[in-house]
Amino acid sequence: MTGTVAIIGGGVIGGGWAARFALNGWTVRVHDPDPQAERKIGEVMANARRSLPGLTDVALPAEGPISFHDSIAEAVEGAAWIQESVPERLDLKHATFGAIQQACDPEAVIGSSTSGFKPSELQQGAARPEQIMVAHPFNPVYLLPLVELVPGEGNDGPMVARAKETLTGLGMYPLHLRKEIDAHVADRFLEAVWREALWLVKDGIATTEEIDNAIRYGFGIRWAQMGLFETYRVAGGEAGMKHFMAQFGPALSWPWTRLMDVPEFTDELVDLIAGQSDAQSGAYSIRELERIRDNNLVTMMRGLKAQDWGAGALLNAQEKLMRAGTPMGVRAEDLPADAPVMTARRTVPLDWTDYNGHMTESRYLHAFADATDRFMEIIGCDADYIANGGSYFTAETHIRHLDEVHAGSVIEIRTQVIAGAGKKMHLFHEMVEGGRLLATGEHFLLHVSLETRKPSAPSPEVEAALVRFAEGHAALPRPQGLGRAIGAPR
C-alpha cells in the first residue's frame, strides 16, 4: 500500500516520518518554514537509507520522491495521510490543524506526533474532529516500529482501521489506545525512569554514564525483546507471575524510588548532568551517535528477526506482505522454465559489512544459501515438506568473488539448474547489482531422508518440478565459471 503523505513539520520526528514513508515507496510532500528543513531532512534520509533497507531480507520498493512546499495547503494536496510534527504548543497545533482541514481531503488521516497532548485537546475547534488522532512514534521513526495510535473517545471506525492498515504496511506496530491519557503509555514509563535518574545523579549515587550502563547492560536488553510483564513472568520461575508478585509485591511499599518527587532544575543540576554527559559522549558528533545507534538497532532487530520474536516478528510479517505478488512469492508452476529463476532480491544490511567496508566473505555464502532455500521452496521442498521428513543437503560449494558490494546496495540472485533428477540437484547462482556481476555460487545438493539422514528419492511432485527446470535450463548458455576450481583460468 502506497500513496501520498504530507509531513507538516520537518524536524527530527517529521524527518523520520518522511524517511519511513519515502523508503516504503510513498510520495512525500513536506512543509516546514525552517529554511534549513531540506538540508536537515536530507541528512535524516542519508542515515535512513543506510539502515532501514537492511532490516529486511526482501528489498523495499523503489524510494518515493520527496518535495518541499511553501504552504500547508500545497503540501496536503492529494495526501491520504497527513502527519503533524510541529512543536508541542497547543495553540500552534490548533492553527496547523485548521490550515490542514481547510485544504485536505476529508477522508485523509491526520496523525499528530504529539508526545503529551490527548486527542480531545487536539480536536478542540476542529472542523472534522474525528479526522484528527494521535500517532506518536519513537525516534528514530524510520527504524523503531512502535506508534501509539489514539483516536478521540468513541472514534473507532473505518478511518482508524485505515490508519492501522497504513502503519502496519510501513512495518510499524500501531498500539491502539481506546482510552486517552496524558502522555499516552510509553512516555509515562520514560518519565518515571527519567525522574528517578535525575535524583540518582543529583544525590551523587551514580553518574549519567553509570545509569546508562545499568540500562544497556541489564534490564534494557531484556525489555527490548520481552517487555516488562513477560520479563517478570519469567522471573517468577515455574510458579509464574503470581509467585513473582507475591514475592516482590511488598517491595512496592518500600521507599525505593522518588517517582513523584522531582529535583529542582537549578543551574547547578543542569551543569552537573550536562558535564557528565559531555564526558560520556562528547567525543562523538550527533550524526556519529545517530549512526552508532542505527547500527546497534539494526543488529539487535535482525537478531530478533531470526528468532521471529518481538520487533523481529513485525519485520517477518512485513516481508511476507512485500513478497506477495512479486516474483519472490510464486511457486514453480507460475514461473517460466526456460529462464534463470530470481531467488533473491534484498538489500545488504549494515552488519554484513567488514573492516574493508564491503560485504564480508561469509555473507556471500549466506546470500547464496538463502537463494538455494528459496529455490527449494519454489519446487515444493518447503517448510511443510521438510517437516514431513524430506530435504536437500549441500554436498559441495564453490564461490567466486568477482566485485565488491556495500551496505545499502540492492542485490539480486538468479539461479540456473545445471542438473536435476533423482536425488541430485546442481545449481549455479549469479549475484548481480544492476548490470554488475558480483559473485557466482555453484552448489551440489543431495535429497535426504531426515529420519535416516541418508540420501533418498524426493517426492514425485518435487522431482517433477526440479526436472522441469533442469530440462528448460539445459538450453541456456553454459554459465561462465561453471566447474571452476581454485586457481588460474584454464
| DSSP states of 42-92 | HHHHHHHHHHGGGGSSSPPPPPPPEEE-SSHHHHHTT-SEEEE---S-HHH
**310/236 Cα distance (integer angstroms):** 21
Collapse the DSSP code of 361 into the 3-class scheme (helix H, G, I; strand E, B; otherwise coil) and give the result: helix
Q: Is 16 annotated as a binding residue?
A: no
**Burial (CB count within 10 angstroms: exposed 0-12, middle 13-18, buried 19+), residue 305:** buried
**Burial (CB count within 10 angstroms: exposed 0-12, middle 13-18, buried 19+), residue 255:** exposed
* H or E element, residue 362: helix 361-378
Bridge partner list, 420:
425
- To which residue does cell 523481529 refer? 312
The x, y and z cell numbers of residue 368, run together, are 547464496
CA 310, 312, 318, 323 torsion-angle sign: negative
Task: Output the CA–CA distances (angstroms, integers) from residue 269 to 212, 279, 375, in the order listed.
Answer: 18, 15, 61
Length of the chain equals 490
Q: Is 13 annotated as a binding residue?
A: yes
Task: Report the chain's C-alpha Rg in angstroms.
Answer: 27
295, 51 contact by CB (below 8 A): yes
Q: Is 10 annotated as a binding residue?
A: yes
Task: Output the CA–CA distances (angstroms, integers) from residue 249 to 232, 246, 259, in the order listed.
Answer: 12, 5, 17
**260/379 Cα distance (integer angstroms):** 62
**429/440 Cα distance (integer angstroms):** 5
**99/153 Cα distance (integer angstroms):** 23
Collapse the DSSP code of 456 into the 3-class scheme (helix H, G, I; strand E, B; otherwise coil) and give the result: coil
* H or E element, residue 322: helix 311-323
CA angle centred on 157, ends 154 and 163, rounded to 5°: 110
Q: From the centroid of its chain, how far is CA 49?
A: 12
> From the annotation, which residues make up the binding site?
9-14
> From the annotation, which residues make up the binding site for NAD(+)?
9-14
